[in-house]
Amino acid sequence: MVRFVLSHYLRRARVLSVEGPRTIVARGNRLFHYENGRPKRLIAALPVPLLEEILSCFLFTRLGLRLGIHAAQSLGDGRILVVLKRRFFLIDRDGSSRVVDRVHRGNKPASRAICQVPDGSVLYGEYLLNENREVPVALYCTQNPESGFRKIFEFPAGEVRHIHFVQWDPFDRCLWMGTGDADAECHLFKSVDTGVSWSRIGGGSQDWRAVGIIFTKEALFWGTDAGSDAGLTPNYIIRFDRITHELSKVQQIQGPCHGAGALSDGTLFISTGVEGGKNELDASAHLWASRDGYKWREVYAHPKKKWPHIVQFGVMRIPPGTETTDTLHFNALALRGAAETWYSGTLDMNE
């Protein structure tokens, strides 16, 4: 049997980053340090306006209005950069915090569109609704969050809708970036100069539409994100060969991919979501796993909560850093009985 074995869950919580047994977890506007699934300390309670604090207390409004803490990036000096709706907070080692910049366009970066590179710089890509493609889409960088972010790259208006991910590749020691959403806007880019310039590696169809990628020595993997705007286009797990640049569809999946990651033992995993699209095979979010990237098995499924999709898609989101542990962490959002829940456990891949 191939399955996900649950060891821990916490409702009204999101795990935002993983480093071995240590995790950073958000509960509303409060950030906590957990170790081995147990709370160690409160990192900070972020000072937000009273109305925002009140609305953040209620699950429906917190999700629907995109409130609470969405991302947390640990910096090398012990400080933490966090993302709330339309702004960045910097948390000092003593727990004090302050706004250091605004999200320039949109509410927040996508879940894998904020990234730290080895020299300590932090980048983020813009994710905004941009339905009419009238707005340019930019990539920003900071060497010191205290001074805010500066624009280092920009797509002209009409070229892409938004940036889905910016990720550091530990094997090739470079950056990868993905964009969407229409066929002509779905591209995979590579940068060898910390995001200043980019080479287009491939694109032009929903096969290149991804919310994040998994790195191995031989290949890149992702699940396609052909969402509710993609008609009947099916979704697949994709393998992209580093040497030949061959793109292969290795497994069809039930819906658009909303998460991807790997464990310290090399196990790969990808999650699907529920957006209400015509191309979805059912109304559940699914978790898939593989030892080698070729043979994939479904290990878990959870039905969507009966909430409007505009409030929150039914998803399992994977936090950054899972490759540092053999414990699988993910956030269940808008799923039945798990509207905002942090799950952790192990993968039983015995067949």
pLDDT in tens, 316-333: 999 999 999 999 999 999
Q: State residue 1's pLDDT score.
A: 65
**C-beta atoms surrounding 351 within 10 Å:** 8
234's torsion region: left (phi>0), alpha (psi -120 to 50) or beta?
beta
Query: Measuring CA to CA, which residue among 214, 210, 207, 211 is closest to residue 291?
Result: 214
The answer to whether the CB of 80 falls within 8 A of the CB of 73 is yes
Q: How would residue 350 be classed by pLDDT, with cut points 50, 70 and 90?
A: confident
Q: Which pTM was predicted?
A: 0.95
- Kindly state the percentage of the chain with pLDDT values over 90: 97
| Chain center to CA of 265 | 21
Burial of 102 (0-12, 13-18, 19+ CB in 10 A): exposed
| Cα 139 to Cα 126: distance, rounded to the nearest angstrom | 6
Residues 6+ apart with CB under 8 A from 301: 284, 285, 286, 287
pLDDT tens digits, one per residue of 79-117? 999 999 999 999 999 999 999 999 999 999 999 999 999
The count of C-alpha atoms lying within 13 angstroms of the C-alpha of 30, restricted to the half-sphere facing its C-beta, is: 11
Confidence of residue 196 (pLDDT cuts 50, 70, 90): very high
Render pLDDT for 224-276 as a digit per residue (tens, 0 to 9).
Answer: 999 999 999 999 999 999 999 999 999 999 999 999 999 999 999 999 999 99
Q: Which of 279, 341, 273, 283 is nearest to 313 (CA)?
A: 273
Neighbouring residues of 326: CB distance < 8 A, sequence distance ≥ 6: 263, 264, 265, 346
Cα dihedral value 242, 264, 324, 315, nearest 10: 80
**Rounded to an integer, what distance in angstroms lies between the CA atom of residue 72 and that of residue 77?**
14
pLDDT at position 349 over 80: no
Please enumerate in sequence order all residues whose Cβ is within 8 A of that of 333, keeping only pairs 6 or more positions apart, or say none.
63, 312, 313, 314, 315, 316, 317, 339, 340
CATH topology of domain 3-15+90-348: Neuraminidase (2.120.10)
% helix, strand, coil for the chain, step of 5? 5, 50, 45
4, HSE (Cβ side, Cα atoms, 13 Å): 25
Q: Which amino acid is at 301?
A: A
